[in-house]
Amino acid sequence: MTQPESNGGGHVLPTPAEHLSSPRTRAVLRVQQRLLAAAREYLVGEQGCMELLPPIIGPVTDPGARGAKQVDIDYYGRTYKLMTSGILYKQAALLGFDRIVNVAPNVRLEPLETASTRRHLAEFHQLDVEIAHASRDEVMDLAEGLLKHVVRAVVDDRAAELELLSRDVAALKEVVNGGFDRRRHADVVAQVRAGGYEQSPDAEIDWHAEASVSEQAVRPFFITDYPKGSRGFYDRESETEPGVLRNFDLIVPEGYGEIASGSEREWDYRRIMTRLRETGENPAKYDWYLDMVRAGIPASAGFGIGVERLTRYLTGVDEVWQASAFPKVPGVFSA
């Protein structure tokens, strides 16, 4: 009845009864519950965000989840998608409210090899934030404030759980001891390449390189300015540096890696059409979104934090599936 520490590359999961009756799982989920409450205290209570319930299905979804397959459903004879992320609806939500947050389920059929990264699920949740008229730096400040608030709440109110899980609380407390560095993608690539690793300058920092920069850090930090082509069409391109996106990832230390991605967004109809075509998307599929954009949406910036990845970091569990009550690991047939 004991929960395995590692599922050996994602291939054996405990039954729901084994998983949920484990004191470790219950401690992890109590940390997750405090995380979610703290995020709402900060975002809704202090930052004036409006919480909306996110949609789960729609005619199109985020095409930016590279390598992951989307899931089709038969919607009264039309093919609809399960959300891989709520980005299109986050932009839409700003037509009603200037500052929004939602906790959204995402389904991504990630490639089978991700079963052994310890950080990929086929179903996970994002804590999604979008702020009208904000700049990238403003939402990075918001993400930093949010993470510090969540860490303080968990360290203060879930001390017994962290002890049961043998989490190194001193390492966690480092989060609040200073500002988060901001490093450009090109500089991180140069650093990784100087260490002898062949990281492509035109792509996301790959998992191996990300793990090593994360291990070297003592505090979370941002990587900014990813190259166009590495991200979805909705991340805004710099006006002064063509080919560079006004976006960021938030990396946590101790090897846990990326927990959030965010950006300033494209809002101009013509630029969005160009970017859609550049990424090989068929604009005809996006009719509701493009009609909305043509009529006018606000400029914005926002981010999405993976709830299970953040829970894993806070609790120090080996694998991200341990941070889910009902885990779905890519390729593994579980409840």
- Residue from 14, 28, 82, 110 binding ligand AMP (CB under 6 A): 110
With respect to Mg ion, which residue has the nearer C-beta, 261 or 324? 261
Counting beta carbons within 10 angstroms of the beta carbon of residue 104, is it exposed (0 to 12), middle (13 to 18) or buried (19 or more)?
A: buried
Q: Residue 89 interacts with ligand AMP (CB under 6 A)?
A: no
Count residues near ligand AMP (CB under 6 A). Answer: 18
Closest approach of Cβ 231 to Mg ion, in Å? 8
> If contact means CB under 5 to 8 A according to the sort of partner, which of Mg ion, ligand AMP, none does residue 121 touch?
ligand AMP
Q: Residue 320 interacts with ligand AMP (CB under 6 A)?
A: yes
Return the H-helix or E-strand segment holding 212: helix 207-216
CB 107 within 8 A of CB 83: yes
Distance CA 136, CA 323 (A): 29
With respect to Mg ion, which residue has the nearer C-beta, 261 or 311? 261
Residue 40, helix vs strand vs coil: helix
128 conformational bin, left if phi > 0, alpha if psi -120 to 50, beta if neither: beta
Exposure of 179 in the CB half-sphere (CA atoms within 13 A): 6
**Pairing status of strand 123-132 against strand 300-306:** antiparallel
Q: Residue 246 interacts with ligand AMP (CB under 6 A)?
A: no
Binding region for ligand AMP (CB under 6 A) out of 20-28, 39-47, 131-139, 298-306: 298-306
- Residue from 115, 121, 146, 153 binding ligand AMP (CB under 6 A): 121
Q: Residue 266 interacts with ligand AMP (CB under 6 A)?
A: no
Q: Residue 7 interacts with ligand AMP (CB under 6 A)?
A: no
Which residues are near Mg ion by CB under 5 A?
Answer: 261
Distance CA 326, CA 70 (A): 20
The closest residue (CB) to Mg ion is 261
- Residue from 81, 118, 120, 265 binding ligand AMP (CB under 6 A): 120
Tokens of 5: 């520490």
Q: Residue 118 interacts with ligand AMP (CB under 6 A)?
A: no
Paired residues of 248 in beta bridges: 224, 262
Return the H-helix or E-strand segment holding 100: strand 99-107
Contact residues toward ligand AMP (CB under 6 A) are 65, 85, 108, 110, 120-121, 124, 126, 258-261, 304-306, 308-309, 320
